[in-house]
Structure 1
Amino acid sequence: MAHKVDHEYDYLFKIVLIGDSGVGKSNILSRFTRNEFCLESKSTIGVEFATRTLQFTILIQLNYTKEIGNCPVEGKTVKAQIWDTAGQERYRAITSAYYRGAVGAFLVYDITKRQTFDNVQRWLRELRDHADSNIVIMMAGNKSDLNHLRAVSEQDGQVLAEKEGLSFLETSALEALNIDKAFQTILTEIYHIISKKALAAQEAAAATAIPGQGTTINVSDSSGNTKGGCCST
C-alpha cells in the first residue's frame, strides 16, 4: 500500500543542487525532504538524491483572461526528485549524467563567503552548457542566519539574479527560512512552462487537423448564384 501511495502524483520533476562545496546544499536537501539539519554534515561524496511529494494549488490563467476571478484553480500533486552532488572539482566528471533530465536547478552560494558568490557565473555557464535551455533556475544566498558574518549583500544577489533572469531568495537551512518557498517557486514555474508547452501542442494539432464528420463546407451559395444569374438573362 505504501508503495502505491508513493506513486500517486501528477508530475515528477528532477531538480539539481549546484554550487561550491560547503555552501549548505546537503542541508538544504535534508531540510526540504526530511525537515532535518545536521551541524556536523560532511562534504558529499559522489551523488545523493532524495524525493518529496507535494500537493499545492496553482492558479492557472488561460487565454490571457484579465479577470482573475475567472481563472480556474488547479490542484496538482508534484513529486520533486532533488539531486545533490559535491562541489569539489574532482567530481565534475559526473556532470552530463547529473544534469540529464533536470527541469529545475537550485544554485546556492554562502553569504559569508564572497568567493562562492563570485563562482555563481561559472556554475551558470556549466548549467547552460549541459542542461536543457528551458531549465528553471533559483539562485539562493544560503546561511542568512549568519548575518553578522555577511560578505555578500542581499542587494548584490538581487542585482545578479535580475541580470541573469533568475529567481532569487536568501535562505537558511538551519532556521528553515525560505527553503519550502524556494522549491515551491521552482516547481510552480516548471509546471507553468510544461502547461504552456502542452497547450501549444494541442493548438498546433488542432490547427493541422483534417475536418471531421461534424464539419460542413458549404459551396451551394456560389453555384446557386451563378445559376440564378444565367436564368435571369
Structure 2
Amino acid sequence: MTISNMTKDYDYLLKVLLVGDSDVGKHEILSCLEDASSESPFCSGNAYKTTTILLEGKRVKLQIWDTSGQGRFCTIIRSYSRGAQGIILVYDITNKWSFDGIDRWLKEVEEHAPGIPKVLVGNRLHLAFKRQVLAKHAELYASRNNMSCFEISPLCDFNIRESFCELARMALHRNGMERIWRNNKVLSLQELCCRTIVRCTTVYAIDSLSLPTSVKSTLKSYALTTSQSIHNINHGTRFKYQCKYPLNHNRNSCAIS
C-alpha cells in the first residue's frame, strides 16, 4: 500500500489482481468501470487499469491487473502476486466448472500470497435463470475460506464497485486502517430490478407502466427514498432499503415473477 503526498490525486494506492478461469467475464468487469484508464508500464501483455474509489472521504486508487490470456494459473500468480494487496476471484454463476476451478486459484494464491485479502465474485447475475451455482453455496464456500462474497452483473452495473470497495476495505484494514472501514452490503436481486426500472423512468411516469398497482406503489416509494438517501449520504448518513417485489422486465411489459 502506498500513501500519497500532496502532489498526488489519491490517498492510498492498492494493487489488485483479477483472476479466474477463461471466459468468466473478467474483461466485462473492467469495462464496467467507466472512469478506469489503461496503462502498460512494462509491455502490452502486462497492462492494468486504474480507477479511483471514495471510501469514507479517502481517495483509494486501484491498479487492477487483468490476468486474462496469460497462460497457466500457477504462472500468473507467481508473476503478478508481488506487491498485491488484494485479489478478486471470479467465476461465472452459469458455469459450475468455473466455480469448481476457484479451488485451483485459491491454492496458488495461498501459496504465493498467503493472507492476502480476497473477494469471491459470481459474475453474470443477469443470467440467473441459467444459474448452475447457488448463491448459498458460494457464500458458504467464501465463509469457509475467509472471503467476502458478491454476485455481480456488468450488464446492469450491479455490485461492481461494491465488490472493489469491500476488497479495498479489507486491504486497508489489514494495514491498520480498520477504524474507518465498515462491512459493505451485498444488494439483493430484487433491489436490482427496482433500481433498473427506476433508472429508466421517472417517479411521475411509473403510473404508465404495465404493472400491478401494488408494484407501482413500491417503485414510486423506492424512487423517492433512493433520492432521499443520496441527500442523506451527502450529509454523512446512510440509508438502507430493500425492494419487496421480484420483477421481470421484458420488451413490452413488466410482471411479477
TM-score for both structures, normalised by structure 2: 0.60
Counterpart mapping for 1:175-214 below 5 A: 175-195=156-176
Matched, 1:15 2:40: no
TM-score by length of 1: 0.66
| Shift of residue 135, structure 1, vs aligned partner | 1.0
- Give the helix-richer structure, 1 or 2: 1
Higher relative contact order (CA 8 A, sep 6+): 1
Instruction: Please say if 1:127 is aligned against 2:128.
Output: no
Q: Cα 1:15–1:33, aligned 2, differ >3 Å: closer, same or farther?
A: farther
Encode CA deviations 1:70-90: one digit per residue, 9 max, x unaligned: xxxxx3111111000126745
The alpha-carbon distance between structure 1 residues 6 and 104, as it changes in their structure 2 partners (threshold 3 A), is farther
Q: 1:86 to 1:193 in 2, by over 3 A?
A: same
Confirm or deny: 8 A CA contact 1:53 1:80 kept in the other structure.
yes
C-alpha distance in structure 1 between counterparts of 2:34 and 2:175, whole Å? 23
Q: Decide whether aligned partners of structure 1 residues 175 and 5 sit closer, same or farther in structure 2, where only a CA change above 3 A counts.
A: farther
Cα distance in 2, alignment partners of residues 147 and 82 from structure 1: 26
> 1:26 maps to which residue?
27
1:214 alignment counterpart: none
> What amino acid sits opposite 1:178 in the alignment?
N
Which 4+ residue blocks in structure 1 deviate beyond 6 angstroms? none
Residue pair 2:13, 2:61 contacting (<8 A) in 1 also? yes
Q: Supply the distance in 1 between the matched residues of 2:90 and 2:36 (Cα, whole angstroms).
A: 18
CA spacing shift, 1:98–1:33, aligned 2, 3 Å: farther
Partner AA of 1:85 in structure 2: T
Return closer, same or farther for 1:181/1:196 CA change in 2, 3 Å cut-off. closer
Q: CA RMSD in A?
A: 2.5
What amino acid sits opposite 2:64 in the alignment?
A: I
Preserved contact between residue 74 and residue 108 of structure 2 (Cα < 8 Å): no
CA deviation digits over 1:23-73, x for unaligned, max 9? Answer: 01111112125479xxxxxxxx9443100122220xxxxxxxxxxxxxxxx
Report if aligned partners of 1:10, 1:77 keep a CA contact under 8 Å in 2: yes
Tell me the residue number matched to 1:118: 100
User: Which residue in 1 is equivalent to 2:129?
Assistant: 148
Contact 1:103 1:134 in 2 (8 A): no
Alignment partner of 1:100 is 2:101: no
Q: Please state whether the residue corresponding to 1:32 is helix, strand or coil.
A: coil
In 2, Cα distance between the equivalents of 1:144 and 1:5?
Answer: 41
Q: Does 1:48 align with 2:47?
A: yes
The structure number with the bigger radius of gyration is: 1
1:108, distance to aligned residue in structure 2 (A) = 0.3
Matched positions, count: 168
Task: Give 1:15 deviation, angstroms.
Answer: 0.4
Secondary structure in 1 matching 2:94: coil
Question: Matches of 2:103 and 2:149 in 1, distance apart?
Answer: 14
